[in-house]
Amino acid sequence: MASVHYRACNLCEAMCGVRIEYEGNKVLSIRGDEEDPFSRGHICPKATALQALYEDPDRLRQPMRRRDGQWEPISWDEALDAAAKGLHEVQQRHGTSAVGVYLGNPNVHNTGSLLMASLFVRSLKTKHRYSATSVDQLPHMLVAYWMFGHQLLLPVPDLDRTQYFLVLGANPIASNGSLMTAPDVRGRIDALKARGGRMVVVDPRRTETAERADEHVFITPGTDALLLLALLHEVMKSPRTVPPFVDGLEVITSLVKQYPPERVAAATGVSADTIRRIAKDFTAAKSAVAYGRMGTSVQAFGSLCAWLISVLNLVTGNFDRPGGAMFPSPVFDPRTLPKALSGGRGSHGRWKSRVRGLPETGGELPVATLAEDILTPGEGRIRAMVTLAGNPVLSTPNGRQLDTAFAGLEFMVAIDPYLNETTRHAHLILPPPSPLEREHYDIAFHLLSVRNTTRYARALFDKGPNARHDWEILLGLGKRLEALRGLSLQRRLTWAALERLGPSGMLDLGLRLGPRGGLRGLSLKKVEKAVHGIDLGPLEPVLPGALQSKGRRVELAPKQLLADLARLEATLTVSTPPAGLMLINRRHLRDNNSWLHNAPKLVSGAPRCTLLVHPEDAQALGLAAGDRARVRSRVGEVVVPVELTASMMKGVVSLPHGYGHGREGVRLQVAAAHAGESVNDLTDELAIDALSGNAAFSAVRVEVSRA
């Protein structure tokens, strides 16, 4: 007889509630949970991948060892012992920082990994720590640290109450939000327009979100910071006041006088009249919020963009108030966890990468430096790697260089359920179970939610006696590694306590000790009992109390960001732009970076790995729809089919992120049949946001020709 299981889908940021009908260990159907107070029955096509991941015949179900080029299964004890021994021996020969570690995007969707990974990383005692953060949201986190005192104090749009939504370099209808957890973005945008509100999208491509906007404005890739300065120039013409806990208004007032709309119009491709009109409408709206995402983050001025967006929201009175940019109040708040679990408030520049000298941020080095820190001889060179749920060969810049670097490692351990483009280089693969075989609580995305809610679900299916959860693998590996160094009694007790508590015990403690916990408040049992989730209401003003800066003050003009303006200013003096076209990336609703392409339903239909080209550019290049084009950058080239569309700004072309599954040694049958080409075989590891070190995937100069 069929039963029903309720949980949140944990394949993207939206936290959509799902209703899973199952019988025994078989999934019968996955539908939206209409009683979920947040998602209200909405799901996107990705939800079906929960079943696909569980049933996938390519998913590894026991540890694998590579010997003489062949893979063989081994036991868990043998695998964990061998992994710890291999890492320990490399550190004994070459020093603790001879081991590097990379954490991929799926970790943020995994409760156990989020709670335990930082403990394991600390046990490695290496400064070579990397993650998907530095190919994604690192500028937002660095700016939050400097402005608000904590890298996880990330303001989000109060989408359900705003009257004017200014979207820069973001496509939330395809991404389901991104640093803005908002299930059914399309429905929420329709509601915005129904209440008389307005949405304006600024993007080099007329995206799915732009198609639904009241207005779409093309912008030259990588120039959003100039546009924001010009908007502020217009806004600051009238006297502005800010809350008493905000410092630096005078500095901003003086600064933006240098950027009238006429000065940036040619560089941005946005007319002075359009800039003035947007500034006027934004200021006049009853409530307004500016929101920037990947297009503003993964560019050479990502940190400046994140900063200026918050400045625009703040000086127009649209900060920490309904309809503006606000801070969620999660009931389980990782910002209150001990530093060993959370990483602390943030940091910048405590150490630097060994080759280019790029600064750490939040305890990590930019992943754009990873390959060179493996390949460049000398003291501190990386000789071994641990990857956790990551595929950096496809998801980080100059993937072919990283491919070469991984192939030459002395030792590599991958904690991953697949033999993919990265893990094929490992000596050991330690596979965790699928999402439906583990408990789930969205630790990260309640921090980014447009409404305060909470929800927890136990695992739907038992993982079985021969499987280990990610957190169990991490604890087992960390404990063994420290034992080889001589495990103290205190550390032995720490590992034992964590094993007993597990993620559910830590969640229960966090909920009980949180702002809504206590004897009569929330506990894990109470949250679990509410199978559809608990609605805790709209976002509420929390400043200055939530600030973690000195004196609980907002720093409107951090000195590091002011200094970086000189680099932006230099772009206005370039008389002749570089030759070639500008490459930007994109995503599709059924894509999620590189890790869902083995789900048959999600890759069905027309091929999506195409080069989008404006018809006039195609004509000049002698290209027609369906032709194969050769795209070449400084670091490499790919050959891809051409798709003509007026949705692209002239002079700009686009490839999707996450493809390139045609490499040898990969066991992903469905993905290999829809391999496509990796945009990161073109992106340049030397192109970064100089302040944060975040990869600059946008505005890559390329030459395009008929293949």
- Condensed to tens digits (0 to 9), the pLDDT of residues 524-569 reads 999 999 999 999 999 999 999 999 999 999 999 999 999 999 999 9
- Tens-place pLDDT, residues 339-379: 766 778 999 999 999 999 999 999 999 999 999 999 999 99
pLDDT, average across residues 390-410: 97
The CATH T-level fold of domain 158-329+550-565 is Dimethylsulfoxide Reductase; domain 2 (3.40.228)
| Residue among 522, 655, 516 nearest 581 (CA) | 655
Q: By three-state DSSP, how is residue 291 classified?
A: strand
Instruction: Name the token pair of 392.
Output: 């950096």
| φ and ψ of 385, to 5 deg | -135, 150
Determine the Cα angle at 697 with ends 692 and 700, to 5°.
120
pLDDT at 338 over 90: no
The correct CATH number of 64-136+333-442+456-532 out of 3.30.70.3450, 3.30.56.10, 3.40.50.740, 3.90.76.10 is 3.40.50.740
Residue 77 CB coordination number (10 Å) = 11
> Per CATH, which fold does 3-55 belong to?
N-terminal domain of TfIIb (2.20.25)
Which of 93-107, 594-608, 633-647 is predicted with the least confidence, judged by mean pLDDT? 594-608
- pLDDT at position 482: 93
Burial bucket for residue 353 (CB in 10 Å: 0-12, 13-18, 19+): buried
> Across the strands, what pairs with 644?
613
277 has pLDDT over 90: yes
pLDDT of residue 278: 98
- What are the CA-CA distances from residue 82 to residues 64, 75, 372, 389, 547 (Å)? 11, 11, 27, 19, 45
Give yes or no for residue 392 having a pLDDT over 70. yes
Q: What is the mean pLDDT of residues 441-455?
A: 97
- Paired with 630 in beta bridges are 639, 705
Cβ(143)–Cβ(549) under 8 Å? no
Q: Would you list the domain boundaries of the chain?
A: 3-55, 64-136+333-442+456-532, 158-329+550-565, 575-706
The pLDDT of residue 520 is 66
Section 379-408 average pLDDT: 97
pLDDT band at residue 582 using 50, 70 and 90 as cut-offs = very high
How far is CA 263 from each of CA 87, 258, 311, rounded to the nearest angstrom?
Answer: 55, 9, 20
pLDDT tens per residue across span 174-230:
998 899 999 999 999 999 999 999 999 999 999 999 999 999 999 999 999 999 999
Give mean pLDDT, residues 313-337. Answer: 95
The region of weakest confidence among 35-49, 361-375, 508-522 is: 508-522
Handedness of CA 661, 365, 142, 121 (dihedral sign): positive
Which tens digit of pLDDT belongs to each residue from 483-505? Answer: 999 988 888 888 899 999 999 99
Run of H or E including 326: strand 325-326
Q: Tell me the pLDDT tens digit for each residue of 56-71.
A: 999 999 999 999 989 9
Per-residue pLDDT, 109 = 95
The answer to whether the predicted template modeling score (pTM) of the entire model surpasses 0.85 is yes
Q: Tell me the C-alpha distance between 638 and 16, whole Å.
A: 36
> What are 621-664's pLDDT values in tens digits?
999 999 999 999 999 999 999 999 999 999 999 999 999 999 99
Among the listed residues 175, 209, 154, the one whose alpha carbon sits nearest the alpha carbon of residue 449: 154
Under 8 Å between Cβ of 159 and 173: no
User: Out of 3.10.20.30, 2.40.40.20, 3.40.50.800, 3.40.640.10, which CATH number does the structure's domain 575-706 have?
Assistant: 2.40.40.20
Confidence class for position 574, pLDDT limits 50, 70, 90? confident
d(C-alpha 489, C-alpha 139), whole Å: 40
Query: How would residue 595 be classed by pLDDT, with cut points 50, 70 and 90?
Result: confident
**pLDDT above 70: residue 519:** no
Task: Compute the distance between CA of residue 390 and CA of residue 414 in angstroms, rounded to an integer.
Answer: 9
Report the candidate in 573, 159, 133, 194 with the shortest Cα–Cα distance to residue 396: 133
Distance CA 227, CA 265 (A): 8
pLDDT of residue 176: 87
